[in-house]
């Protein structure tokens, strides 16, 4: 009988190892298990978030590159979290608990939603990115950030 369980366990493991990364990643997320994602999978998730909120993919990819260098565990000196560097207080703006900001998919979608809202409010990508970065339009650091993200999006666009 023990051999049967061992064979079944081996079969499940072999099946799991052969699954596409996206199935394993999202299955782990649904089961609330730690999910490690490759850069390629993270880029796919960035593109999905951009598409969901009507943003140019190259802009959201550049934002993530500048904000976190695609590190889902990144934390800024002021406490912003994850790939999109969303502040915990802004999680409610996206209708999620701040703890979900560690989930790359939730983080990307929240960051994309915030950028979309700022873009709709300000009507200009440079201003929207400036506000995304520092919370207001008149902010030298945010303006440099916006220029960097836009330049990077054009290079890699």
Question: What is the DSSP secondary structure assignment for residue 81, as one 8-state letter?
Answer: B
Please indicate whether residue 43 is annotated as part of the active site.
Answer: no
Catalytic option among 3, 21, 45, 67: 67
d(CA 122, CA 135): 12
d(CA 44, CA 91): 22
CB atoms within 10 A of CB 135: 12
Structural tokens at position 70: 């695609």
| Residue whose C-alpha is closest to residue 113's, from 99, 98, 93 | 93
By annotation, the residues acting in catalysis are: 67
């Amino acid at each position: 009988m023990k051999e049967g369980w061992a064979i079944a366990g081996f079969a499940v493991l072999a099946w799991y190892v052969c699954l596409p990364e996206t199935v394993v990643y999202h299955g782990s997320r649904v089961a609330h298990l730690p999910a490690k994602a490759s850069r390629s999978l993270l880029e796919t998730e960035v593109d999905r978030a951009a598409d969901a909120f009507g943003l140019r993919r190259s802009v959201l990819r550049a934002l993530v590159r500048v904000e976190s260098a695609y590190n889902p565990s990144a934390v800024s000196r002021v406490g912003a979290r994850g790939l999109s560097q969303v502040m915990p207080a802004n999680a409610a703006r996206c209708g999620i608990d701040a703890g979900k900001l560690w989930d790359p998919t939730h983080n990307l979608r929240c960051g994309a939603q915030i950028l979309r809202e700022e873009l709709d409010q300000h009507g200009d990508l440079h201003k929207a990115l400036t506000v995304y970065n520092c919370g207001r339009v008149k902010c030298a650091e945010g303006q440099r950030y916006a220029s960097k993200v836009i330049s990077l999006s054009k290079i890699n666009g």
